[in-house]
Amino acid sequence: MSGRLRYIDLFAGAGGLSEGFIRAGFEPVAHVESDEAACYTLKTRIAYHYLKSINKYNIYVSYLKGEITRAELYSLVPEELLNTVINLPIGAHYNSTIHKTIEKQLGDKTVDLIIGGPPCQAYSLVGRARSANGMRGDQRNYLYVHYAKFLEKYNPKLFVFENVLGLKSAGNGVYLSNMEKLFLKKGYNIKLFTVEANNFGVLQNRKRIIIIGARENLSIDIPNFEAVKVTSNYRVKTLFSDLPKIQAGQGDDKFSKYRTKANQYLNDSLIRNGIDILTQHMARPHTKQDKEIYRIAVEKWNSQKERLNYNDLPERLKSHQNRTSFFDRFKVVAADEMHSQTVVAHIAKDGHYYIHPDIEQNRSITVREAARLQSFPDDYYFEGVKEGSNRTAAFKQIGNAVPPLMAERIAIEIRNALKFP
C-alpha cells in the first residue's frame, strides 16, 4: 500500500471517479461527501476492495445475497479504512474538521493527487433552465474556491477537476475564468479538456469538462484526453441482453439471477466481472397513463426511428402545463444506437427520459440498468441511508457519478504522466 500514489476525492458521490483510480493502482486517503446514502455506498465499496484483497470476496457476495447485514459486513473491515469516508459538506463550517480527519488518516505521508468536482447543478444548462434566476447566488457556484484551499493545504502534484459542459457558459464564462486564475495563483498550470464518455468505451453520450492541474514547479506532461478514442461497435442493447425481463414495479434488490451468460462487452468492461449475483434490478411502478405514453414512444422509435414530441400525444395523455419546452420529456433508451442519452440525477425523480426499449416490458430502466449505462460493475451496490437499497437514492447517486470506465482510463494516463510504474 505504501508504494502507491495517494489521492483525496472531494465531492466523492458514489465513488465512480475513485473506482477508476483504484483500478489504476491509486490509494485513497479520503473520500469527502455530504450525502449520507452515498457515504454508505462508498463504505460498502471499500468493504468490497478490502475483502477481495485478502481473498475473502465470498463474504462480500454473502452481503449481496442478503445473508449478512451491512453492519456485519462493515465489522469485517479495518476501522481506519471505513474512516476514509468523511460525511461532511465541504465549506467554511466543516473544512477544519475534514482536515483533522484527513491528517489522522495521512500520518506522515503526502498526497499525490486531488480528484473530484463540485456538484454540477449550478453549472448545468438544464439546472439553470429549471431555476427561476438561472442559479445566480447559488453557493454551489463557488465551491471551487474551497477546492483550491485543499490544493493549497495538501500541495498535490496534480489535480483532476470534473464537471459538466455548462461550466464553460455559466455566468457568461466568469466562473471558469475565475477558476483558472485561482488555480494558477495556487501554483498550478491547468489544461481544460472537453471529453465524451463514449470515446472511453462507455455506451453513453456524456460530454464533460476535465480540468487537469499540474504543480508548476514540476515538469509534468499533461496527456491530451481529447485524443482518447476507444473504438467500439457495440450497441446499447449489449448492456441489457442478459438481464431478466421484468414489468413495471417488479424486480429484486437482493438478489436475482441473470437470464443468459455475459457477452463480450460486459466481460471486457468489467460490468460482469465474474459475479453471478444480480442485485438492484428493480423497476419503478408506473401509472396506466405513463405506460400508455411509454408504449407510444417505443413504437414510434422502433417503427420510424423518431423521438416522441410531447405535443404529438393525444390530449387525454397531456398532463403537463408546459407545452413550449422540454418536448422530449419522454425518451426511449434506444437499443440499436451506439450510445444512450446522458444519465443525469433527474432520473431519481422519474423515469420518463429513460424508457426501456423492450415494449413487452413497458417500463423505465432499473437501477442496475442505469448503473450499467454508467459502466458500473454489477457488484457495485448503491446504498440507502437505512439498511438495504433506496431506489431514489441509488438513481441519484448513479446520475451524478463519473463512469468508472472513463475514470480508469484517465487515471492510467495520469499515472503514466507522473512516471509511476
Residue in 120, 167, 262, 335 annotated catalytic: 120
Backbone φ, ψ for residue 200 (5° rounding): -105, 15
d(CA 59, CA 317): 49
Angle between helices 143-154 and 174-185 (to 10 degrees): 10
Q: What DSSP string runs through 95-121?
A: HHHHHHHHHHHHTT----EEE----ST
d(CA 295, CA 277): 30
d(CA 147, CA 143): 6
Amino acid, res. 267: N
* 120 annotated active-site: yes
* Strand, coil or helix: 397: helix
Give the count of beta carbons closer than 10 Å to the beta carbon of residue 173.
Answer: 11
Residue owning grid cell 438495504: 388
Q: What's the CA angle centered on 295, arms 278 and 376, to 5 degrees?
A: 25
* Beta-carbon contacts of residue 366 (< 8 Å; ≥ 6 apart): 243, 246, 251, 280, 281, 282, 283
Q: What's the CA angle centered on 361, arms 383 and 303, to 5 degrees?
A: 125
Q: What's the CA angle centered on 396, arms 226 and 133, to 5 degrees?
A: 80
Beta strand pairing status for 6-10 and 27-32? Answer: parallel
Which candidate, 19, 10, 102, 56, places its Cα nearest to that of 404?
Answer: 19
Q: 227 vs 224, 282, 398, 413, CA distance in Å?
A: 6, 37, 26, 12
Alpha-carbon torsion angle 131, 136, 138, 144, nearest 10: 120
Backbone φ, ψ for residue 179 (5° rounding): -60, -50
The catalytic residues are: 120
